[in-house]
A and B are shown apart, each in its own frame.
Chain A
Amino acid sequence: MKLRASFRRLRALSRKETLQILRDPSSNIIAFLLPVIMLFIFGYGISLDSTGLRVGLVLEDSGPEARHFADSLYGSPYLRVSTGRNRQEMGQAMTAGRVRGFVVVPEDFAEKLNRPGTTAPLLVITDGGEPNTANFVENYVRSAFELWLSQRALERGEAPAASVSIEPRFWFNPTAESRNYLIPGSITIIMTVIGALLTSLVVAREWERGTMEALLASPVTRAELLLSKLLPYYALGIISLFICVAVAVWLLGVPFRGSLLALWLTGSLFLGSALGLGLLLSTATRNQFNAAQAALNAAFLPAVILSGFIYEIRSMPPIIQAVTYLVPARYFVSAMQTLFQAGDVWPALWPSLVFLAVAGLFFIALTALKTRRRLD
């Protein structure tokens, strides 16, 4: 009898919560519209693939050898080359951000190139203000240069010097498109917003307006109360997750190689931890503005910076690396990238799933504890 009664109460409470969600336009926008907009931003706006890098070229030596070298730059599919009169002009263009680097062929280039015993210098100057792009400018110019050197040796009929080439193969992502791993990672951000940010706001409002006390005074048990807050937002999050994956696969063309079951399991466990954190923060602060600020700093920012979805965790200092092990988003990003690009690779998925489950249980248990303490 008791079980049935509690199920009825749970259903009533969940219904009330669901109605509240559906009635507020702002939570609808956050749950359904924002994910789609954000996926498009991540799909088109965030790209680390620098193809068509704008670089400048200053030919202080305009002889045939120098022009031959210039052709190898023009021929590179990764560079968009514009010529400038002198170094000053190019330097200014780089300060203004019109080019990300420039190549200088000095006056004595051909002379030194052909005199035995000397090395002809080429100068590559990059915009260090954009370190990642600077790396790519350097790499692309270098490979155009190597190509030119070997062609030149070939044309002059010189015996080829020892040559070793590297044949790169990108597993899971043969064209090395950053979109293919940024989009799975960005779903983490969207899930965090729905799970942690939205719950922290809505539950804190209940405390702020005093309706939480009224609920606690009713025969509702703690488990029912927590579940009635968790279930509607869990449903919202899962619907949003499947919308995200559908948009990613069908509109943005990101391959998904895992199974829907594994996706559901991973998504549920992560949502559990995000919802748990949101509930915990709202229960601890009891104030909408403070809860939202806390959620922004405790859930959202770590999900962007410390999850490894854009920034490589292994390049961080050891202390920050240690902190990332406590960020649930880190495990979700890793699991999502594996699911999307590699498929159901269980040895890679298990550790993440176990941690997410533990984190979710921990936050929810702590919230339950806090809720009781408030009642005393």
Chain B
Amino acid sequence: MPHLYRILTLIRKELQGLLQDRQSRMLLIMPVLLQLAVFPFASTLEVKNNTLAVFNEDAGAESIELIQRLSRAGAFTRMLVVRDEPALARTIDTQRALLVLRFPPGFSRDVAAGRPAVIQAMLDGRRSNSGQIALGYVRQILQGYLNDRNAAQGRASPAQITVRHWFNPNLDYVRHIVPSLVAIITTISTLTVTSLSVAREREHGTFDQLLVSPLTPGMIMVGKTVPAVIVAMAQGSVILAAGVFIYHIPFQGSLALLYGSMLCYILALAGFGLLNSSICATQQQAFLGAFSFIMPAVLLSGFPSPVENMPLWLQWLDWFNPLRHFIVIVKGVFVKDMGFAVLWHSLWPLLVIAAVTLALADWMFRRRIA
């Protein structure tokens, strides 16, 4: 019991340090709220409000009908008419339009005669992802137009595709971003809190006081880990609640599974943080160390772009990135109702990483003290 009491006292002291003054409390809360307000709207790969430019060298009815259909589509809110080639080049050079469609002379005549007709699409290679998605929209509109035209002539298409997007019928980016944000925010807070805790004590010289107290190195480690767990879980819960109540994302899975995995994840990260903290001599080094970990971890987590797009060797290397596994879990439980059997594939790597990093941190901790 006295051991437990001592650890509890240390935890209380750590939490007081984190929450003592107004500025520190603001720094724990404000960034979370800020990111919650900006991220879901800003970090989208959707293609909306774009400008479509048209260079029509054709004089017939078919191209005009098609252009009218395009201008009614939601993906393009502005339509720009280009009259000659230099204007076309200027439009793309200065990024005034994402996409220029060029109807060649005789386009309508070819369509009417049943000859294959070609539309040229000039896209801005500086934004090729958006360009490809916009091109997909244009293709769908074109296909709709062709189907209607053929049906009017009594030649309906013999087959048709119906597309269903599971878990997210309208391909709403918020359902991709908010669960990922839960994972990213817990990453940032766990790492900064654990990284800076020991480094700060060392820089201020209070670490020696801690060492001459009756606390063992193991107890100090627990005392430094638990506050990080509390802060990270609280911040994660804020995002989770905002996702459900403000962004109206239906929570599909089991809360117990989510929080259980979150605990494993935070422990895996706390291992990294304490290891970093026990190696660094100053707060600056600890902060830069945490930053150098967070950056690649977030970028390679599968949040900005899917893991399967990476080359194979990097996918294997990325196995050691705990965020990559945790993002699969949060998204799976949040929007896909992932069960334990599937979740386990992502959970056991977290347990392995947690065991390795905590053991390393413990070893480093004792070595630096001795």
Residues of A near any B CB (own CB < 8 A): 24-27, 29-30, 34, 37-38, 41-42, 44-50, 52, 54, 91-92, 94-97, 100, 109, 112-114, 119-136, 138-139, 141-143, 145-146, 149, 152, 159-174, 176-178, 180-181, 193, 197, 201-202, 205, 288-290, 292-293, 296-297, 301, 305-306, 310-312, 314-317, 320, 334, 337-338, 341-342, 345, 347-348
Contacts and interface: CB of A to CB of B under 8 A. Distances in A.
Given A127-B166, A139-B136, A164-B119, A95 B332 contact: yes
Contact of B291 (A114, A132, A177, A197): A197
11 contacts: A34-B292, A95-B338, A132-B133, A141-B161, A162-B111, A167-B118, A167-B121, A197-B291, A297-B34, A305-B38, A306-B38
A273 to B, nearest CB: 20
Contacts of A121: 159-160, 162
Contacts of B173: 131
Nearest to A333: B126
Contacts of A132: 45, 129, 133, 305-306
B109 interface: no
Contacts of A347: 90, 93-94
Contacts of B166: 91, 94, 125-128
A289 B126 contact: no
A138 B92 CA distance: 27
B246 interface: no
Interface string B38-50: 1101111111111
A106 B131 CA distance: 33
Contacts of A345: 93-94
A30 B292 contact: yes
Contacts of A29: 288, 292
A146 B159 CA distance: 10
Given A26-B285, A47-B305, A288-B283, A171 B92 contact: yes
A333 B31 CA distance: 24
Given A26-B288, A122-B162, A167-B120, A129 B167 contact: yes
B221 interface: no
B334 to A, nearest CB: 9
Interface residues of B, number: 108
Given A129-B167, A164-B119, A170-B125, A315 B138 contact: no
B128 A181 contact: yes
B114 A142 contact: no
B319 to A, nearest CB: 13
Contacts of A127: 165-167
Majority secondary structure, A binding face = helix
A316 B44 contact: yes
Contacts of B309: 47-50
Question: Secondary structure at chain B's binding surface: helix, strand, loop or mixed?
Answer: helix
Nearest to B135: A168
B9 interface: no
B176 A130 contact: yes
B157 interface: yes
Interface string B91-128: 01111001000000000000100101111111111111
Contact of B123 (A92, A149, A171): A171
Given A122-B159, A126-B164, A164-B118, 5 more contacts: A29-B292, A96-B332, A135-B133, A315-B44, A317-B41
A341 to B, nearest CB: 5
A143 B157 CA distance: 15
Contacts of A49: 309
Interface stretch (B141-149, B229-237, B362-370): B141-149
A161 B336 CA distance: 42
Contacts of B116: 160, 163-165
B54 interface: no
Contact of B126 (A44, A160, A166, A173): A173
Nearest to A205: B284
Given A129-B167, A161-B150, A314-B50, A305 B310 contact: no
A50 B289 CA distance: 32
Interface centre among B34, B114, B159, B164 (most CB of A within 10 A): B159
Given A29-B292, A121-B162, A170-B123, A315 B308 contact: no
Interface stretch (B205-213, B255-263, B294-302, B352-360): B294-302
Nearest to A69: B159
Nearest to A137: B163
Contacts of B275: none
Contacts of A314: 48-50, 98
Contact of B162 (A30, A124, A133, A172): A124
B123 A131 contact: no
B305 A171 contact: no
A164 B111 contact: yes
Contacts of A92: 342
B156 interface: yes
Contact of A289 (B48, B114, B159, B283): B283
A92 B165 CA distance: 15
